Amino acid sequence: MLADTDVRWCQQISIAFLDTGDRPVTAGTVTFGSHVIGALGIDWATLESTRPLPLPLAPGTPATGRWRVCVDAWRVPLGMHLDTRDVTFKWK
């Protein structure tokens, strides 16, 4: 789930996780690719940020991670907005 915040250079992101393996996930990160979108819909830049996963993730038990993802305010000038489109995970 993606939601805007009170500032144009941040977004609130929620992701549901489910460990389908037989051991708990005890280490990992999530990387977000946030796109800076201009007033005419042009994608000007993609900025990455990495956060820890909500650990531990127990097998078969759903968990939700929530993050406020922000970039430097000067990277999102007036009339532009942030759109986090890309998400990748790494875990052990």
Residue 92 pLDDT: 79
Residue 3 pLDDT: 85
Q: Which run of H or E residues covers position 49?
A: strand 43-52
Q: Are 44 and 80 within 8 A, CB to CB?
A: yes
Residue 60 pLDDT: 93
Q: Classify residue 79 by burial, with Cβ atoms within 10 Å: 0-12, 13-18, 19+.
A: exposed
Query: In sequence order, which residues have a C-beta less than 8 Å from that of residue 83 and are 6 or more positions away?
Result: 11, 34, 35, 37
Task: Give Cα 82 to chain centroid, integer Å.
Answer: 12
Residue 1 pLDDT: 79
How confident is the prediction along the chain (92 residues), in pLDDT tens digits per residue? 788 888 999 999 999 999 999 999 999 999 999 999 999 999 999 999 999 999 999 999 999 999 999 999 999 999 999 999 999 999 87
Q: Are 17 and 29 within 8 A, CB to CB?
A: no
